[in-house]
Each structure stands twice: as structure tokens, then as C-alpha cells.
Structure 1
């Protein structure tokens, strides 16, 4: 596209209210226009090629521009575009449910389809509350989550989220949603061992359940890795410890795998394979179709369903969506899984992930970098322009935003798209990335950080 065409699109874009839109900037935004994509790269409307560091939004797992995905989606549209999920069914939805049951751990053998991650979490929470009503435990409705957690943008899923900066000017359910400390190892006291810290954070969950009352706590919801909270890594044994606490007090454990499922950690589901837990419910979305079309789901255990089925009367879970089990979306998911299995993408992730993490760890040598953390093909490089902490927290926060914005701008000029979360550069590239492309990503990120520091120093930060 020509520059005038790009500018025209950027101007019109201000009619599109984007997620997390700063309303005061509407009419002034000039966002990068993405026009093309192929493999691990995207291209803007001016022809600039960018390595897609965040894989869209943690989701383009098999990479962009897969012809067989396009063909499968187009063929399904020409065969059956849509069918109501209320009293009818369709073959792709049935086959996908069966496939997900095969891939999932333990007895999570039933699938409820939604439109994305937020609605998957929302529906899972509604199901838990519904179940307790059926079991004549109407008081058992309290949900425990964690600070810095992100679970979605519907009313229930946003209430479960714990990122304080996302709470401004919006309403949430505050009376039945509770947040305990996230298990960030950066917060571990120096004199405390990792095992002791793990026990401390697991203890937070038990203490909160006892504070509220076990007869009132319905569920604990946790991302295996707190993703948009900054790729926060829990100490080993944390999730297993939390699951045991939930079992002790009859609390449902929901593993929010919207980000970690479908290969991000080298497995279709990470709960059991990586963290040695079989939760009661798993939520998923994003990588289920590699972002080609929207789809979400929650998988529920036989144990939970059977506890409801024991009741004599008819029991209707009055929750669903026009696009639940959409045949085109389910076809995309089936083809996505087929590609992952045929190309051994899980094995590829497990092979290149150590290299990815090791190369990013070299950035620790940069004075501004305070932490590099991650697992599989998700990582965070945290930067702090004022490592000595001489300024007040408010000034530090402004500096954090400033350094993040500068890194983002320089990396994009160098040909790398990053996802800045304040002062954290989050990396979650397509799962097909190879070692040469990892080198490219790390080198451009390193240069971008160095240039951002020069800018910050010249600006007096």
C-alpha cells in the first residue's frame, strides 16, 4: 500500500474502538496497519517485514497463511455454514469434542463450546455456581483467584482477573471474588528457600478458604503460568499443592489453559504433562484454532457431571451461545490439531524451547534487564530504567511505561513485533519458529532495548 492509503486507514481506524482503548486518544491514534502474514512473519501496509514475537495474541501457534487451513475452512463453509447448537448438532463439533476428550488428562471427557477464552471462563464459573445450586449449596459461590491473573473480559471472568490496572472505571463482582498473592519467585525473600516460598503461597489459598468458609468457596481458578500478568512462574509443586488444598475443602479447581494449551509448553494440555495436576475443569481457546477463527471451550470432569446427574429431576444448564460448536470453527480446530500431530509440533516445541530460553537469558547481561523468565515458548524480559529504586513508586511506574514504549518502537523499526506490558517484553512466537529465527528475535530485541536505554538517558529518565 502507498503511504497515503496507510494514513487513510489509520484515520478511519479511530472509528474502531480497540481493546484497552484510551478514550482520550480516540481520533489521534496512528496504529501500525498489518496487511499480510506468512509463517512466523507479518508485514505492515508499508511493506515492512516483522517477526511476530507475540504470535498475534499468544495464539497463531502453527503460523500464518496455512493453505490447508484456508481450504478446510472454505470447504466447510460451502458444505455447512451454520447450524443451531440448541436442538441440533454437526459432525465437526462432535468429532472435535471426541478429539479433545482423547487429548485431555484424567476424566475431563465432556466439552462445552464457547466463542473464546473469556466466554470459556465465564461459562465454567457459571457451571460451578449452577452445580452448587443443583446440589442445594446456594451459599457456595465464592471464587478465589490471584493478583496479576487475567481470565477475560466478561463480567465474571473480569471479576476473576486480578490485574489492578485493569480495574479502573469498571464494575466487578467484589463480594464473592477474592484474590490471593500470585506466586512470583521475584517476590521470594532472599533468605527463604523455594520450597518454603511454595508452602507460603499454597498456604495463602488454604487461609483464604478458611477465612471465607469452606462451605462458601466454590472454586479456585489459576493459569498454569500467569501469562499477561508477566509470564509469572510458580515454584515447583505450587499447583499440585493448591489442588490438594482444593480437594481437602471440596473446592473445584479450574485450570485456565487459554494460553498454555495447544502447544505453548510443548503439550496439547499442560496441566498434567507439565504441572502434574488433573483439574476439575480446563478452559481453552487461542491455540485451539491457532487464531484462524474464534473458538473457546471448557472441559469438565466426569466426577462433576455425575454429581449433578445423581439428582432425580430434569436439570438444564441454561447457558450457551449462538456460535457454540460452530461447524466452521470446529473444522478449523480439527485441522489445526491434525497439522500439529502430523508435523510433530509438540516435539518441536520441546526441542527448541530450551534454546529459546537460553538465548533470551543472555539479555540478563544488559544493565536495564532485571529478569528473564519463561518456559516452553513463552517468556518475559523485564526492564527497569531505575534499578536502584531512587524514585517514588509513581515515578517508577511512569518510567516503566516509558521504557516499555521505547523498546516497542525500536523493536518494530528493527523488524520485530513485541508485546509490551508496561516494562515487560512478552515473547510467545509461533510454535514453528526455528533456531535461526530465535537468534533473529533475540538480536533485534537486544538492539531495541539498547536503543531504548539511549533514548531514555537522552530524555533525562
Structure 2
């Protein structure tokens, strides 16, 4: 039976619970229906075409409708779509992809535990960290330090790791004594009169003080995104990550790099930690760009030093008792292998290194608008923070919906951006051309110009 657009909209309202739904307007407004996609564009149910300025959700790195990935998925599904991965059974794509990841990622990050996304990978990593220290005879070493405004997922534990307070209203929280937060590395909001180097010193000292307060024997790990994504695209001060890593080493802690957003080309590298920020994590979390968003897949990737501990037999008959039905799903891993092959063939990382400065440079022109307080980011991820008074860096109240107004103005002009509080986020496909960059920044400029009078009057 053919379903009209009105049917789809009605059924969507009646049956589909969306992530991050605004129920104040959802039932009356319904959803925009994304019907098709091609290249860097998404087409809605009315045939209107939009530049996908957020690459789906940081993930459609190679663009929509790439036949190489589609064909790899279809071929694997026809050959063998699934087989139980538990115990001593494997499949070819999962094994080969794990070996490729070990080759691409830094240091001794050689051991891959597949999940279905970033949240589940972070959740699994925390459980494995605790297991690791138990196996080392250090059962008190359990506490995890995260950061304010960090985003690490929406499972019960990763929601606790997440430091964005607006995501927690009316939800219960677990692990309150387990997870602790230190300040975000937010250069724009640093104390007045404090330069970048002093701010870095302040953050590192705060981190060490928190470890000492909690007791080094009790603290297991620090988790951090190289650049904060959903928290507002925050680039840490120079030297921050390497120094935080050194503190972890000093107190026998593990460093978890959440590279769900930044790995696989977003910053022009396979991963950002070592190449751009000068440290090698003990655990790296990846997802999103791993399959260019074509099939759900995530992974927690562990160092050989951790693996040597967790792979030591516990006791006779015991097994490593954690995992998922879809761990190492053959179709998802085939999509991952095709994605990596395309990135190598087209030298996507080099393209991002070339196009990124143009993109950032064009966006910097938005600083001319009175309501734009900050334009920040790196390569193909950017955040534009809107403020009521930029001299005092005074934010708009949530009721103003500043970034949402820009989102609507952009959408009317054929561009999809992501509003997060007072920050407009851009994270386009990595295959963006110079013309795509110029069109995106032109529309952003027109949208901000349109909404500025109303925002100043709010």
C-alpha cells in the first residue's frame, strides 16, 4: 500500500520516538521527512535539496550514495550477513578490519572490541577498565574523570560520563560516586585576563587536584574528546592533552580518547590523538566515520598492555563475559573496510588538510556580526557561538532559541546545520569541494544577518 507524505508524518508522530525530541512542538509540527540523499545533499519529501552541513550527525564522511560502500554491503549480505561471534568463531570482514585498524591507529592500539556505536563502545570501555584493574589486583581503582560539556553517549553509564547538564533533566543518574567531572577546556569562556598558557596550567592543576582529592588509588581513567563535539566544538589550549596524559601516567591511570567524531578524517588524520595532540591513549573509541554512517558500527580499541592483562585466563572454565549479539557484524565490518579503502584511494585526509583552512577562513567572516561571539574549530568541524553581548560574552537565554533561529533560516535557504544551545555546529562531509564551502558559508552569513535584529531585540 502506497503511503503519502501525510501518512508518513502521522505515523511518525504516533509511533517513532526520536532522539532529542522537543515535545512542546513535535506533535503539532511533526517531522521534516528526509526522502533521498546523494553526494553532499539530502532531499526532502517535497523534492527540496539541502546541503548536508552536518554530514548526517558527524558521520557521513564520504557523502551519500557512494556505490563502493553500497556494493560492499550488498555483496557481504549476499555472501553471509551474520554469524554468531561469541567464543572462538569469527568472520572474515571483522578480522580483516581489526587488522587494518591496528595498522592505522597509533602506538600499540592493536586489539579491537566491536560494538554498534559510540555509546556502547564507551560503556564497554569503562567496564573493561574496571576489569583490567581487578585483574591487576587493584579493585579500588574504579573512579572515572570526565569533563563538563563532554559528550560520551546516552546509555546509563555514558550519560553519566557526559557533562552536558541539559541532557539530564528529569532523568535519574547512576554511578554518582563513580564518575567525576572537571572543567571543560573552553578557551572562549576562560577567566578574564588569563592567556591560553595560563588557562592550560589552570586546567591541568585542577585535574591533578581532583585526582589527589579522590585518591590516586581510587581513580582508574580519564576520558576526553580531542575536540569536544556536541558540547560546542571546543578546541583545548595548546599542550593540554599531552599534559593531561602525563598526569594520567604519573598516577597510574588510563587515558581514554573518545575519537567517535574526530577519527577517520574529520581533522585530516586517521586519528587525532598522537598526530595532532602529541599523546597516545590507552584506549581509543571510534564509530561514526568508521563506516561513513552507512551501517552502525563502533569499537573500543585497547593497547597491547591492557590486552596482555585481560587476556590472561581467569580460572578454569571462565571466559571474558561481555559482548553483543552484533559484535563484529560482517556487513558493518565490510562497510568499514570499503570506507577505509575509499579514503586511501582518494587521499581524503590530504583533501581535508587542504580544504579545512579554507572552510575555517570563510567562517571567520561571521565575526563581523554583533551576535557572533566566537568562531572556533579545526578542519571540517566548526562551532559558531551566538551571544547577547560579545564584549561581556553574555549568552542568550535558552528561551530565545538563538541557534535554532539560525538553523531555521539556513534550512529555508537549503542548508542543514545543527543548533546546540547558543552554538551553531557545522561538520560537513569530508568530500566537500571549495564551492561547497563557499555556498555553506554564504548561506550561514545570510542566515545570521537575517536573525540578528530579532536576537538583539530579544
Q: TM-score, normalised by structure 2?
A: 0.95
- Structure 2 counterpart of 1:81: 81
1:296 aligns with: 298
Where structure 2 has 5 or more consecutive residues not aligned to the other structure, the ranges are none
From the superposition, tell whether residues 371 and 84 of structure 1 become closer, same or farther in structure 2 (CA, over 3 Å). same
Residues 7-406 of structure 1 mapped to structure 2, 5 A cutoff: 7-14=6-13, 15-25=15-25, 27-87=27-87, 88-172=89-173, 173-309=175-311, 313=315, 316-387=319-390, 396-399=397-400, 401=401, 403-406=402-405
Do the aligned partners of 1:90 and 1:327 also contact (CA within 8 Å) in 2? yes
Aligned residues: 453
Q: Residues 134 and 254 from structure 1, CA distance in 2 versus in 1: closer, same or farther, beyond 3 angstroms?
A: same
Deviation string 1:284-331 (CA, Å, 9 cap, x unpaired) is 000000000000001100111223456773563311100000000000
Contact 2:387 2:393 in 1 (8 A): no
- Taking structure 1 as the reference length, what is the TM-score of the superposition? 0.95
**1:312/1:383 Cα in 2 relative to 1: closer, same or farther (>3 Å)?**
closer
Shift in Å at residue 388 of structure 1?
A: 6.5
CA apart distance, 1:123:
0.5
Cα 1:350–1:383, aligned 2, differ >3 Å: closer, same or farther? same
Change beyond 3 A, Cα 1:390–1:188: closer
CA–CA separation in structure 2 for the residues paired with 1:390 and 1:291? 36
RMSD between aligned residues: 1.8
Structure 1, unaligned runs of 5 or more: none
Equivalent residue of 1:170, what SS? coil
Cα distance in 1 for residues equivalent to 2:56 and 2:132 = 35
Question: What is the alpha-carbon distance in structure 2 between the residues aligned to residue 165 and residue 30 of structure 1?
Answer: 23
Distance in 2, matches of 1:63 and 1:107, equals 31
1:427 corresponds to? 426
Per-residue Cα deviation, 1:226-274 (whole angstroms, up to 9, x for no partner): 1000001100100000000000000110000000000000011111111
Change (3 A) 1:450 1:195: same
Deviation for aligned residue 1:398: 2.1
The alpha carbon displacement at 1:450 in A equals 1.2
Q: Is the 8 A contact 2:52 2:429 kept in 1?
A: yes
Residues 389, 396 of structure 1: 8 Å contact kept: no
> SS where residue 371 of structure 1 aligns?
strand
Contact in 2 for aligned 1:10/1:29 (Cα 8 Å)? no
CA–CA separation in structure 1 for the residues paired with 2:404 and 2:86:
46
CA pair 294-309 structure 1, distance change in 2 beyond 3 A:
closer
- Shift in Å at residue 170 of structure 1? 1.2
The 1:125/1:390 distance shift into structure 2, 3 A limit, reads closer
Task: Specify the SS of the correspondent of 1:28.
Answer: helix
User: What is the CA distance between 1:29 and its match in structure 2?
Assistant: 3.5
After TM superposition, give the deviation of residue 449 of structure 1 in Å.
Answer: 1.0
Q: CA deviation at 1:25?
A: 4.5
Partner secondary structure for residue 436 of structure 1: helix
- Higher mean C-alpha deviation, range 329-338 or range 29-38: 29-38
Equivalent pair of 1:255/1:283 in contact (CA under 8 Å): yes
| Helix, strand or coil at the partner of 1:425 | strand
